[in-house]
Each structure stands twice: as C-alpha cells, then as structure tokens.
Amino acid sequence: MLKQQYFLLDALHTGLLLISPTGYSSDYLIVDTNPYFLKMFECSGTVIGQTTKKILPQLASKLIKQLDITNKEQTEQNSNVHITGTDIYYDIKTIPGEDNTIACLILDVSKKIYYQNRFRDQNDEIQAQNEELMATNEELSVSLENINETNLILTEKEKELIYAKEKAEESDRLKSAFLANMSHEIRTPMNGIIGFSQLLKETSISESDKNHYIKIISDSSQQLLDIVNDIIDISKIESGEVTLNKREVNLKTLLNKISDFYKPQASEKNLGFTADFLINNDNFLYYQDATKLYQIISNLISNAIKFTDRGEVKITCSLEKDTVCFSISDTGIGIPDEYKNSIFDRFSQGYSHNNPKYSGTGLGLSICKGLLNLMDGNISFLSEEGKGSTFLVELPLQNYRILAN
C-alpha cells in the first residue's frame, strides 16, 4: 500500500519526506522518502537517518519553521518557499502523522510560478499596450473630430466661394447687360438731338414743326441728362462720396411740388393722380436732406407712371409713431416674382427683359435704396403682377418742428 502511494506521488511529481524530531532543537530526522524526492533534490544513495539541514540546506530554515508549527499545533500547514538567489519555488504541505512523525509533501512549482510571472508580465504589457491604444484612439477621435470640423469649415467655405463665384458671374452678366442697355439708352436721345437739330437747319419748315422739333430736342436732352445723373449718383453712392445736406423741409410743400410736377405727366397717359398729406399740421417742418428726399420720391413716382398704362398713381405722406412714411401706389403691371429679390440690385432691369416698352437704366431703385441707407431709412414694397405695386419709404423722425398757424 505504501509503495502504491509512493508511485502515485511520483506520478504527480511530488516529493514525499517522512521526518520525526531529532531531539535536537531546530532540526528533524529523515525517516523515509519516495523516489521522486531523491530525484527532485538530486540525492545519491539513501538519505534515511540524516537530518533536514544536511540534505536540504537551502530549504531547511524555512521548512523547519513550518515543521515546528505543525509539530506543536498538530495541524496541517501550507507554504510557498522561494530559494533565495534562484528561480526555484516549492509548495510545501506538512501533515502531522502517527508515532510523532510528520509527512512533508513537496511540489516544485517553479515552472508554474515562471509562467504565472510571464503571464503577469505579458498581461501588464498587453494592458500597457491597451492603454497606449486607448490613448491613441482618443487622439484619433480628437483628430477625427478636428478633421470633421475642418471639413465642415471647408464645406462652408466652398459654399461661400461658389456663392461668391455665382454672384461675380451674375454681376458680370448684369454689367454686360447694363452696358448694352446703357448704350441703347444714350444713343436714343442722342439720335433725337442730332436728327432734329439737322432738321432745324431746313429753311422751309413751318413754325409749328420748328417748335415741335425744339421740344423733341429739349426732351431728349433732359432724358440724356437724367441718364448721366443716374450714373453719377450710383457711382457716388458706391464710392461713399455722398453727403447729406440737412435742413428744415416743409413736407406738405414738398409733396405739393412733387404733385405739381408729375400730375401733368400722369394726365398725358390718362392716369389719375392723387397726393394726400395725412399729417394734421400743414406747417410740419422735418429736418432732412430735401434734395435727396425729393429725388427718392420722384424716382418712385416716375417708375409708377412709367409702368402704369391705366388706372391711377397715388402718393401719401403720414406719420407712424416715430417714422415719416411716404407711400407710392400704382395700378400698373406689377413686379414678376422672379425679379422681386433683385429689384433693388444695381444693373437689375427686370422689366426691360420682358418688354422693350419699359426699358431704362435700371439704376433708379438702387439709387433710392442707397440714399435711404445713408439717411438711416428703409424702403420696401408689395406687388402683384398685373395688378400694381406699392412702395413704402420710411425715415426716422428725429428732429422736427411745427410752426404756429
């Protein structure tokens, strides 16, 4: 039976050492061993009857301490022993037996410890690599976010560049159309002036024909002057050379002056023309640039008459809270939807593309908006094609005075 146990322990690569106290302090006598013990500690010959200190000098001090406890307490003890200066580790179990003997089961766990340590080191290395990868992933995430943000910025910049390119192309197209139209606009009155000036040289013309020719020359000269003035005005507005010359303006007197000038033009086209002054006091003096205010209202009324073939043109002047308001309405052709967003742009000639009858420089509304911006005012409109338009001019009521009647 004992041999079978020895064989089993040999198979398990476990050394068996049976010992008993020697009677001397801190040492034990070897009673028996299994063959694997002899192989484990490279013992030649028998070791029975010898002491642990002699056979196991490197292990004895730690083993004896454990044996003392087992012998004293008569309980199993377990320990892991490292041979100092080596890579050798033992698991030792001491079991109290009969006849004052103690069985020591010694298992060499050096390989186990080696692989545990290697596994731990590899695990630490893997953990360090994981931490490094996580840090790299974090950096990559931040980089990806930065790239995405940069891509968004680039996309917005690209959109801005495309928009700027489209605006530049549109501006070039409008300029070309403007120059072509301007050439036509200038040639028309010039041809009238030159042609009818030649006719005046004829000695055989009647007095009535002569007066008619003179009127055509005068009208053509005024038309040419208006074109030149428009070009000069828009150039000054865009270059910032326009300055305001403010003074007190009697708004009713201004409205009457405008009405007196344009009412005959409306009558020539069989149009109704009304001008309503809706401010309670006729002596309301408004501190503003009268010339530019007159120019703005005149441009709008001139357009209203030009684009209205039947019906009426109406102008009103009123006060709305802290605002002076001029409203110019007509029953004309209205503004097509496709031109409403660009109607105040320079070189925009929405009507002339559709009908040569309404040709012009296309600068009038741009001039009005530019002047009103300078005067801290605003211009807006409502229009329905085929039914007419209403333009609203609003100016801040900052300084004014009311004269006693």
User: Tens of pLDDT along 249-261?
Assistant: 999 999 999 999 8
**Cβ neighbours for 10, distance < 8 A, ≥ 6 positions apart:** 34, 35, 36
Considering only residues 86 and 22, tell me which one the structure prediction assigns the higher pLDDT: 86
32: exposed, middle or buried (C-beta count within 10 Å: 0-12, 13-18, 19+)? Answer: middle
Model confidence at 311, pLDDT cuts 50, 70, 90, reads: very high
Instruction: For residue range 264-296, list pLDDT tens digits in order.
Output: 999 999 999 999 998 888 888 999 998 889 989
Neighbouring residues of 373: CB distance < 8 A, sequence distance ≥ 6: none
Pick 185 or 239 by higher pLDDT: 239
Q: How far apart are CA 303 and CA 85, in angstroms?
A: 109
Tens digits of per-residue pLDDT, 39-82? 888 887 788 888 888 888 888 778 888 888 888 888 888 888 88
**Overall pTM > 0.85:** no
The length of the chain in residues reads: 405
Which structure tokens are listed for 190?
């010039």
Which of 54-68, 152-166, 177-191 has the weakest average pLDDT? 177-191
User: 339, 365, 353: which is closest to 177 by C-alpha?
Assistant: 353
Domains with residue ranges and CATH for the chain: 2-108 (3.30.450.20), 128-235 (1.10.287.130), 242-402 (3.30.565.10)
Distance CA 348, CA 346 (A): 5
